A and B are shown apart, each in its own frame.
Chain A
Amino acid sequence: MEPVSSLSVNRAKTKRSSYRNELLGILFALPAILGLLIFTLGPMIYSLYMSFTDYSGSNSPTFIGLDNYTRMFSGEDQYFYKSLGVTLYFVVLSVPTGIIYSFLLAILLNRNIKGKAIFRTVFYLPSIVPIIAISFIWLWLLNPDLGLANEMLRAIGLPGSQWIFGEKSVVPSLALMNLWTTGGTMIIFLAGLQDIPRSLYEAIEIDGGSKLHKLRNITIPMMTPTIFFNLIMGIINGFQVFSQAYVMTSGGPNNASLFYVFYLYREAFQFSRMGSASAIAWVLFIIIMLLTYMVFKTSKKWVYYEGDEAR
C-alpha cells in the first residue's frame, strides 16, 4: 500500500499502483486459486467425464454416454429413488428443527444470566466432537434395551421406541441426534443477535411492547439474513449426511436410512462402479444447486438487509 501523500496524485500513478495492487493481490491469492483449480475444479471435471463412462476404479474408463444417468432415473437402480426419499425426509425433519432449536438456544444464551460463558461452551461442545464419536455415543443412548433414551421414557411412563432399529423411527432418531450437533449454527445466531442495535428494543420498551413483540418485530426480522445463511448451510449439510448411516445403521434397517451419500459410497466402494457413483454425485450437486437457487429466489420476500430500505 503506497501512502497517498496529497490530493494532487496524478491519475497515472494511481493506475500504476492499482495494477501493482492487483498483481500483489492475485499473487497472494494464488495458492488458493491454484488449490481450487488443481484439487477441486480438476477432479470435478474429471468426475463429470467419468459419470459418462463405465469405470470400476481399476479398469480404463469406457464411454457409455448417458447410461449411468438413465439407469438411475429409469428406476433400474432400485436404490436411487429410495435414497433420495430417505435423504429428503431427513432434510425436511432436521433442517427446520435444527434452526428453530439453535435459534431458541441462542436467544437464551444471549440473555444476561449467570455462567453465560459456561453454558455457551457446554452447548457448543458437541460440535467439536467428531461425528464418528458422536455416532457411537448415540448408538448407546438410543439402544432400545439399555439406552438412556428409553430409560428416561420409561421413567415417565411412556413406551420406549426402537429408535435406529425401527424402519419408521430411524430417520427421526437421526434428526433428533442432529439437534445435538447444531452448536455451530447456534454460535452464528448468537453473533447475529449481538449485532441487533439496543436502540430498537428500547423503542419498543418506550412504546410499551412486550417481550413477544420484541421477538416478533425486532429479533426475527433483524435475524433473517442469519437464518437465511443457516438455512442454506443446513440444506447442504443435510443432503450430504453420511457418517451416521455409515457408523450406526449401515443404511438399515431395510434401507430405511440409506442416505444419498451412503448410497453413493456403496456404489463406488462396495459395488466398484465409480462411473455410476460419479453420476450419482453430479445429480446430488445439481439437486443442491437447484434447491439453493430456489431458497435464494424466495429470500427476496423474507430476508431483510439493514440499509436496504427500497424493499
Chain B
Amino acid sequence: MRKNTGRTRLMLLFLLIMALLVTACGAGGNNANTKADTSQENNQEGNSPASGDTGTAAGEKVKLKFTFWGSPQEKQAVEDAIKAFEAKNPNVTIDSIHIPGTDFLQKLNAMIAGNEAPDLSYSAAWKLKMGEEGLIYNFFDLMKEDPSIKKEDYLQYAWWNWDTDKSAGPYQASVVPSLMYNADLFKEAGVELPPTKAEEAWQWDEFVETAKKLTLDRNGKHPDDPGFDPKNIKQYGVKFSLSWLSYMPLVLSNGGDYLTEDGKEFGLSKPEATEAIQKIADLINVYHVAPSPVQASSIPAPATALQSRKVAMVIDGSWNHLDLSKANINWGVGVLPVLKDYKTFFLGGSLIIFKSSKHPKEAWEFSKFLTDPENVLELHQGLWMPQLKQWYEDPKLVDSWANEELPGRPAGFQDAVMRSTYEHAEPSAENNVRNFVEIDAAVTAGLDQVWLGTKTAAEAMKEVEAKVKPLVKGTYLK
C-alpha cells in the first residue's frame, strides 16, 4: 500500500507539473493563433490597407511598432522624425525599437515567429524573400490607392522588387559609391585635385599616375623610384573597399555588368568585367598604390584612414561623408575614374510594411513621412541622399540638402557626387539581381584570390561562374 502511495504521489506530482506547463504553453499558442487568424482575415478582406476597409477610423488611438537600425546619430534623427510625426498625428504613437544591424534579421525573425511582428521596419536584401512569402505589402498596391505619390516620383532604379510588378518599396534614402580624398596630401605632392565633373573624369592611366604620386614608402619614395620598398608603404595612393560597391562602377564603365544583358548568364566572368576587376587588382599587386586585403586589415575606417594619412584617396560609400565632416581634415570629393563611359548607381534600404499589421494605413502614412527627405533633413545633409527626383531637380530643394556650405557637403559635392550619379545612374546589382546575396558570397570568395594576386580576375571569375550557374536567374527588372 505504502509503496503504491509513494509512487502514485510522485506520478501525480509529475502529471500536475506537466499539465500546468502544457496548459500554459497551450494557452499562449491559442491566443497567438487567434491573433494570427484575425489578421489574416483582415488581409483577405481588403488586400490593400489604403482602401479604407481595414484602416482605422480617425481619432482612434493607434500604436505602431517600428524596428530600425543605424548609428547613434541616425537613431537620434529617426526618433526626432517620429516625434514630429506623432505631433502631426496625435492619435498615433510609434513604438520604435532600435536593433543593431548585425542582430537585426535574427531578432526580426524571432518577433515574426512569436506573432509579434512590427508594423513596419527597415530592411535589407532579405526582404525580397519575405515578399515572396507574402509577409509584406506590395508597395505598388499601396501606391495605387494613394494619389499623393507615384512611381515616377522616385529615381528610376530605386526599387526593391521581388517580381516585375511586386515591390518591397523604393529606397528610403540613397547612398552612392564615392571618391573621397585628403586635399593636404595632394597639395604636398603637388598633384592636381581629382576632377569633379563626370565629363572630365580621370581615364584609368591618369588615375594610376596620380595614385603613384600619392604613394610613399617609408623612405618617401614613389613606386616608380629606384629602391622603392613595396613591403613598407607608409601612404597609399588609393584604397578601394573591394566590395561590389567599389568595383561595379568600373565594371559598368567598361561595358560589363553583374549579369549578361539577357540576364541569363553570369556577367562578371565576361572580358569587359574581368578587365575592370583586373585593373583594380593591378593597383595592388602591380603598381603598389593600393593596399591588399592583408595590408588593408591594419588600415582604419575611411575617414580615419584619410585623416591619419594612411591613404590619399578612398573609393567607398558616400555615407563616409558624415564621419569625414566630423573629422578635423581638409577633405573633398571627386568623380570616379573611368575606363570608358561614366556609370554608377544609387543604393539603399527600404521600409517594409508587414501584412500582419492591424493599422496598415497609419503604417503607410508613417513610411511616407519617414522617406520624405523633408522630415529627416539632417540625415540628408551628410549621411544620405534623397531618392525622389524632385530633390535633384528643384534648385530650392537641392539647396536644402546639397548646399556646399553645409559641413557634410564639401566643395564640388553637387557636381562630383550628386549630378554625376543622378545623370549616370544604372541599376545597382544588390537590389536587381536575383539571388544576389548568395551570388555575391561566391564572388567575394573568388575575388579574395584576385586581390591577393594568386589568380587573375579572368581565372577566378570563370570558376565562380561554374559555381553560381544554378543561382543566376536574371534580374527583377525584366
Interface residue B449 (Cβ < 8 Å from any Cβ of A): yes
Q: In the complex, which of the residues B14, B133, B438, B448 has the most CB atoms of chain A within 10 Å of its own CB atom?
A: B448
B-contact 0/1 string along A10-53, CB 8 Å cutoff? 00100110011011001100100010001000000000000000
Which chain B residues (1-52) contact chain A, with CB distance < 8 Å? 2-3, 6-7, 9-10, 13-14, 17, 21
User: CA separation between A255 and B445, bound complex, in Å?
Assistant: 6
Binds B, one of A142-150, A219-227, A302-310: A142-150
Task: Select B297's contact among A165, A166, A272, beta carbons within 8 Å.
Answer: A165
Tell me the number of A-to-B contacts counted with CB atoms below 8 Å: 92
Distance in Å from the Cβ of B239 to the closest Cβ of chain A? 15
Q: Is the beta-carbon distance between B297 and A139 smaller than 8 angstroms?
A: yes
Tell me the bound Cα distance from A139 to B294 in angstroms: 11
Q: Is the beta-carbon distance between B448 and A143 smaller than 8 angstroms?
A: no
How many angstroms from the CA of A165 to the CA of B452 in the assembled complex?
9
Choose among B105, B295, B448, B467 the residue that contacts A272 (Cβ–Cβ < 8 A).
Answer: B105
**Of all chain B residues, which has the CB nearest A76?**
B470
B448 close to A252 (CB less than 8 A) = yes
Whether the Cβ atoms of A59 and B449 lie closer than 8 Å is no
Cβ-defined partner of A269 (8 Å) among B13, B17, B106, B294: B106
Say yes or no for B129: interface residue by CB 8 A criterion.
yes
By the criterion CB–CB under 8 Å, are A26 and B10 in contact?
yes
B293 at the binding interface (Cβ < 8 Å)? yes
Docked CA distance A23–B14 (Å): 10
Q: How many residues of B contact A (CB 8 A)?
A: 41
Is B298's CB under 8 angstroms from A272's CB? no
**CB-defined interface of A238-280 with B at 8 Å, one 1/0 digit per residue?**
0000000000000111110000000000100111101000000
Question: For this complex, into which size category does the number of interface residues on chain A fall?
Answer: 35 or more
B294's partner among A26, A56, A57, A144 (CB-CB below 8 A) is A144
Of B113, B297, B454, which one neighbours A57 at CB under 8 angstroms? B113
B105 contact from A146, A253, A269, Cβ within 8 A: A269
Partner of B437, one of A15, A19, A166, A271: A271
- Name A's B-contacting residues (CB within 8 A): 12, 15-16, 19-20, 22-23, 26-27, 30, 34, 38, 56-59, 76, 78, 139, 143-146, 162, 165-167, 251-255, 266, 269-272, 274
Write 5 A-B pairs (CB below 8 A) sorted by A numbering. Answer: A78-B467, A143-B297, A143-B298, A165-B452, A271-B441
Chain B positions within 8 Å of A, measured between CB atoms, are 2-3, 6-7, 9-10, 13-14, 17, 21, 105-106, 108-109, 112-113, 126, 129-130, 133-135, 231, 293-295, 297-298, 437-438, 441-442, 444-446, 448-449, 452, 454, 467, 470
